Structure 1
């Protein structure tokens, strides 16, 4: 269950503790974590799925423990047209860099080589510390 699927009244009745994870840790199925109140808990996911920001790890009548995500150092790429989108997507794919999309923006984790590439291609971008809801997934395949 995710906190976004809960009724605001139900959330308001409970004391909320958070487990802050780096986005790269959202893909780990088994891990030992500590809440922002110092409680140590183990996570063991039965299904092979990634954790998301807002996922509820534990809930009873009085409290709930949920996942939150630490901000990532991101490049927010803002292609102005399909040509720029295709060009940068091709280059990032060749480098096996995972991207996420929010509206028309493409988000990738900061990499100075990508900054050089974006400047060279004259594609607009900004660098921001931002929370992502899900992990950046590396796409595994071979060129052989």
Structure 2
């Protein structure tokens, strides 16, 4: 088993050719939340991934194995609910309202300008439909927000929450 213990978020600083040549490992959101796991990469190698506790992997992250080889993380498609505003009866503000209600329930949520994604939950789907939103089951990669205090865990400005303007 090849040990992996180093993460390069989004492959920052690596030449594109190195990211492209790397083997890949496909992981769903449940597995990408774990800091210790076993997986098999696209080259058929067994990987033992040991990262600092609390580390969450994102699609596009690069892992460095003990032999120096690179492994690119792919967010594998998984069952999700795709939530969008109803063009006939609603407005884009309805997505903001939905994000508020889902956030109050501490639901992992992927935010996009024109839709939201959550893991399947029939009770939440009914609540969202009652808010006049369109809820469709799909099979897509899931990249939920890391939260306001999850530095480097996605969801902020730029890659992995980095931004450079000063705060007052």
TM normalised by structure 1 equals 0.72
Please state how far the C-alpha of 1:74 moved relative to its aligned partner: 1.4
Please state how far the C-alpha of 1:136 moved relative to its aligned partner: 7.5
1:69 aligns with 2:79: no
User: Does the aligned pair in 2 maintain the 1:29–1:50 contact within 8 Å?
Assistant: yes
In structure 2, runs of 5+ residues without a counterpart are: 1-7, 86-90, 148-168
The residue that corresponds to 1:104 in the other structure is 114
User: Does the aligned pair in 2 maintain the 1:51–1:134 contact within 8 Å?
Assistant: no
User: Does the aligned pair in 1 maintain the 2:108–2:144 contact within 8 Å?
Assistant: no
Moved >3 Å (runs of 4+): 3-6, 9-12, 93-96, 133-137
**Match of 1:113, SS?**
helix
User: Does the aligned pair in 2 maintain the 1:52–1:134 contact within 8 Å?
Assistant: no
The residue that corresponds to 2:47 in the other structure is 41
The residue that corresponds to 2:142 in the other structure is 132
Q: Which moved more, 1:49-58 or 1:86-95?
A: 86-95
Equivalenced residues, count: 134
User: Does the aligned pair in 2 maintain the 1:24–1:135 contact within 8 Å?
Assistant: no
TM normalised by structure 2 equals 0.63
- Identify the match of residue 16 of structure 2 among 1, 8, 30: 8
In structure 1, runs of 5+ residues without a counterpart are: 138-144
Aligned-residue RMSD, C-alpha = 3.0
The residue that corresponds to 2:24 in the other structure is 18
1:118-129 matches, within 5 Å, as: 118-129=128-139
